[in-house]
Amino acid sequence: MRHWTDQRTRAPLVAGLIAAFLVVAGCGAIGGPPPTPVVVVVTAPPIVVTAPPPSPIVVVVTATPAPQAAAPTPAPTAAPVAVATKPGGSPSVAAQTKPTVPATPPTPVPQTLQVGRTNSYRGLLFTVEEARSDQKIERETARRGETLIGLRMKVQNPNGLLVHFGSTALGELVRLRLPDGSTIKPEAVDPLYRPRLEPQEALTGWYIFRLERPAPLESLALALGGGSETVVTIPFSGPEPKIAKRTFEYLRSTPEVRGLLWSVSGGEIRLDLPGQQANPGQEFVVVNVRATNPSTAPVTLRKAGSVPQEGAEYLRIRADNGVLLQVSAELSPLPTEFPPKAEQDTLYAWQLPIGSKNPKLVILSPDGSEHELELGPLPPP
């Protein structure tokens, strides 16, 4: 009886378990809800794949990126542009279309100018007859990048004295003045580099100058003088130079001094003498002096002690400021002896400040006394 009861009790329990299994397995009735998916998780050991480490990537961000637009149709590009970095770090762009080759400078066109102008320097007359510009003049040839300027010159000595440039060459005192005011010296070309001119003699020759670039001949000028001398110029165009010379005529005499009668008939004022050029700010006064022996006995001019005395030792000029000036040049000296009734004309020169008005000729006696003869008023500059 107990065995049966157990059987009846177990039957409902078995039926419930079977129904539950069918529900779990998805075997429901037709028309019921769809079965719930079953997820099966399989656990397997991880697979490790070893790969080489990636190369480092450097990203340079120059600006905040904007949304990428469609690439436009490329425009024609110019030649490459050279980019250089300045010391501060900012790029400097220099457009360089293509390498440049230095152009060969054009050959200067030959020029010729008839000048025909004269000025006076150291008692000589300098005339620029002709100016030329070319690659070859006479025996001189221009070097690469140079232009030659040649001046055909005539130099005359109109005086009765020898004029020479023995100690200082004339070529060192001649300059070609360029349009910018700078000057250059000539080549050492004879016979005008160190000339020696006898009285009334004339020389003709060339001065050759080397220029780095051509210059219009009309814009040039020849300058004469150097150091502490007054410079004179001969411009090739524009106003023609004038020889700086002024004349004066005064007939004045002294009573008898040292046994002679002294008189002045005039003279001239100028910047140059044979072989000499006045200092800047000064000029020469050349005086015509006449000494006459009125007696029938000879007269000898002597120092103290019966030593003959020359004119440069006793003739002076008293300047406007009272200073006694010594003779600058004896152009025609006085003798030391005068025959009876003899008359002697001479030329003596002194250097005075430009614009002097009333200088005086002074005759010194061996005893120290002075005798004056008025020369002024002199003509103004």
| Planar angle of CA 306, 309, 314, nearest 5 degrees | 125
Q: Determine the average pLDDT of the residues in 181-196.
A: 91
165 Cβ contact partners less than 8 Å away, ≥ 6 residues apart = 173, 194, 195, 196
Q: Which residues of 96-121 are buried (b: 16+ CB within 10 A; e: fewer)?
A: eeeeeeeeeeeebeebebebebbbbb
Residue 227 in domain: yes
Checking if the pLDDT of 45 tops 90, the result is no
> Residue 120 is part of a domain; what is its CATH number?
2.60.40.1240
* pLDDT score recorded for residue 250: 85
Checking if the pLDDT of 2 tops 90, the result is no
Checking if the pLDDT of 7 tops 60, the result is no
Checking if the pLDDT of 53 tops 90, the result is no
Asked if 313 and 368 sit in the same domain, the reply is yes
Residue 169 in domain: yes
Measure the CA–CA gap between 234 and 240, rounded to whole angstroms.
Answer: 8
Q: Determine the average pLDDT of the residues in 278-283.
A: 96
Q: Which residue has the higher pLDDT, 148 or 1?
A: 148
Q: Which residue has the higher pLDDT, 108 or 153?
A: 153
Asked if 344 and 296 sit in the same domain, the reply is yes
Residue 92 in domain: no
HSE at residue 78, side-chain half, CA atoms within 13 A, is 6
Asked if 199 and 280 sit in the same domain, the reply is no
Percent of all residues in the chain with a pLDDT value above 90, rounded to a whole number: 64
Residue 102 in domain: no
Residue 168 in domain: yes
Q: Which of 208, 235, 262 is the last residue of a domain?
A: 235
The answer to whether 112 and 132 are in contact (CB under 8 A) is: yes
The most confident of 6-10, 94-98, 324-328, by mean pLDDT: 324-328
Domain that holds residue 222: 111-235
Asked if 259 and 205 sit in the same domain, the reply is no
Residue 72 in domain: no
Measure the CA–CA gap between 372 and 316, rounded to whole angstroms.
Answer: 9
Q: Determine the average pLDDT of the residues in 352-367.
A: 95
Three-state DSSP string of 221-284: EEEECCCCCCCEEEECCCCCCCCCEEEECCCEECCCECCEEEEEEEEEEECEECCEECCCCEEE
Distances in Å between the Cα of 2 and the Cα atoms of 5, 13, 309 are: 5, 17, 194
Asked if 215 and 299 sit in the same domain, the reply is no
* pLDDT score recorded for residue 287: 97
Average per-residue pLDDT for the chain: 80
Does the predicted TM-score (pTM) go above 0.75?
no
* pLDDT score recorded for residue 260: 96
Residue 295 in domain: yes
Q: Determine the average pLDDT of the residues in 188-201.
A: 91
Q: Determine the average pLDDT of the residues in 252-264.
A: 94
Residue 191 in domain: yes
| Number of structural domains the chain divides into | 2
Q: Which of 175, 208, 235 is the last residue of a domain?
A: 235
